[in-house]
Structure 1
Amino acid sequence: MARNNLSTIKLKIRILKNKILWCFCEIKSKLSNKKIIDSELIIPDSDLKNILILAPHADDEWIGCSQAISKAEKSTVYYFNFLGKNYHQENETIRQNEIKNVSNKTGFKLIVSTNRENHSDLKELILENNFTVIFIPFPLDWHPEHIKANDIALEILKKIDLSVPLYFYHISVPTPESMRNCYYLPLSKKEIQTKIKIFDDCYISQKNTPIRRFAIQNVIWAQSQNFYAAEVFAKYSLLEWELFLNFVKEQKNEIEKSIYLIDYPFKIREYSDKIFLKFNT
């Protein structure tokens, strides 16, 4: 009982802390000098005609790609059905029901992997559909199942003669600020409020993962831009992706330390940039 009470108190403190940080970021954004972002850095509508999002976990698709889903003419989410540390049947059912609720609310087609070790269905999905872009979790991340999803997708795409843009969305660790090949999907204040509400309404099991922690990064990305917030995506070729993924694996021990910074939005951005700069040296 005491342990449950302590966990509840800690969660409330995390939520309060994120709300305070949110207010701080809003104020800083209003005071910063704005510039009009190069329109070429906004993901073009032509890429958003028929999109595929690869989601290791239920909620990754909404955390990283809510605006891609909202703005795409047609969107498909391939859910790997990874469950972190809880592979009990009850949790699997809960998580599938939650992502189905998001699918119903937002209109994307949901494909749930039926075999966590054999993803031939993903290969068939890509071959049978004329996707205009594929969204993949950004490899610089402490979560091993985000890396596993990268490995599976890379292996499949290397065997397919396919010319399609590859955008990488961040989940736990922000995209490094020093990256030059970054693209944006802006959010208005109303759109980010909708993003938070849908997450809160649908992902009930993830109440220990305050969505504002992720949304804060969206606001920070837009502090010097002429919009309220933004989801940010790295863009890599197949070769660039493979090289970076290999680097990430070499830096595994360092990257795993970022888990201790998840509630410190500015520190984790600095840490992400620090690791990425090693890749460029």
Structure 2
Amino acid sequence: MNNFKDEKLLVIAPHSDDEVLGCGGLISKIKKDGGKVYVLIFNLGFEKNDTKHSQEKRKKEVQDAMDALNVDDFHLVHDKSDNNRDLDAKPLHSLIEIIESTSNVSLEKISPTIVAIPTIFSHHQDHVHLHHACIAALRPISTPVSNIVLSYEAPEHSRWSASGV
């Protein structure tokens, strides 16, 4: 049985809740064993007609989820409704820079031993676009950034099952 007490996990998520739905079990196991967990969320998931109240409520829900998961630190990149939509239209170089160095939970700042990224096999354009940014940010230059890189599925895949069609 693996013990994760010396591990540092970074979960990179396109939208709030992808980190929980895709990596909740891994987050729980690492925290239970005494390891560290960091989460980088790119979009909060506002709808076009969200009010200021609903935006603040959604931010609080993310904070509550991070507290419940006992996450060591997290960064919500696009947390305002005006810059929160269409992650797939954001330039890859800007996403890569956030992942590599500018976020408070960047690869440079936390040196994770495990990184969890969205799968390339997603049917959601934001997930695929962020996957490409993650792969570019994680490319080994002189030494590997992380010992382990995992990709995770989001709940969207359950909608494509034979029984769900």
TM-score by length of 1: 0.43
Q: Which has the higher strand share?
A: 2
Contact 2:4-2:29 at 8 Å conserved across structures: no
Query: Is the aligned partner of 1:130 residue 2:88?
Result: no
Contact 2:44-2:76 at 8 Å conserved across structures: no
Q: Kindly report the root-mean-square deviation, in angstroms, between the aligned alpha carbons of the 2 structures.
A: 3.0
Query: Is the aligned partner of 1:113 residue 2:71?
Result: no
Q: 1:100 aligned to 49, 63, 71, which one? A: 63
Within a 5 Å distance, the mapping from 1:250-265 to structure 2 comes to: 262=159, 265=161
- The Cα offsets for residues 20-58 of structure 1, whole Å up to 9 and x where unpaired, read as xxxxxxxxxxxxxxxxxxx6xxxx334972100011111
- In the aligned structure 1, how far is the partner of 2:120 from the partner of 2:44? 16
Distance of aligned partners of 1:46 and 1:107 in 2 relative to their CA distance in 1, 3 Å threshold: closer
- Amino acid of the residue matched to residue 113 of structure 1? V
- Shift of the alpha carbon at 1:63? 0.6
For the residue of structure 2 that corresponds to 1:56, the secondary structure is strand
For the residue of structure 1 that corresponds to 2:155, the secondary structure is coil
Distance of aligned partners of 1:89 and 1:133 in 2 relative to their CA distance in 1, 3 Å threshold: farther
- In the aligned structure 2, how far is the partner of 1:96 from the partner of 1:150? 24
Q: 2:9 aligned to 48, 51, 58, which one? A: 51
- In the aligned structure 2, how far is the partner of 1:47 from the partner of 1:146? 29
Unaligned runs of 5+ in 2: none
- In the aligned structure 2, how far is the partner of 1:171 from the partner of 1:67? 13
Aligned to 1:34: none
Contact 1:140-1:173 at 8 Å conserved across structures: no
Number of equivalences: 140
- In the aligned structure 2, how far is the partner of 1:149 from the partner of 1:49? 23
Q: Which has the higher helix share?
A: 1
Aligned to 1:78: 40
Contact 1:142-1:172 at 8 Å conserved across structures: no
Contact 1:84-1:145 at 8 Å conserved across structures: no
Within a 5 Å distance, the mapping from 1:56-67 to structure 2 comes to: 56-67=14-25
- In the aligned structure 2, how far is the partner of 1:164 from the partner of 1:94? 37
- In the aligned structure 1, how far is the partner of 2:47 from the partner of 2:120? 20
For the residue of structure 1 that corresponds to 2:123, the secondary structure is coil
Contact 1:52-1:77 at 8 Å conserved across structures: yes
- Shift of the alpha carbon at 1:83? 2.6
- Amino acid of the residue matched to residue 123 of structure 1? E
Contact 2:119-2:153 at 8 Å conserved across structures: yes
- Shift of the alpha carbon at 1:112? 1.4
Within a 5 Å distance, the mapping from 1:1-281 to structure 2 comes to: 44-46=2-4, 49-72=7-30, 73-81=35-43, 83=45, 86=48, 88=50, 90=52, 92-108=55-71, 109-114=73-78, 117=90, 118-119=94-95, 120-124=97-101, 125-158=106-139, 160=141, 161-162=143-144, 163-174=146-157, 262=159, 265-267=161-163
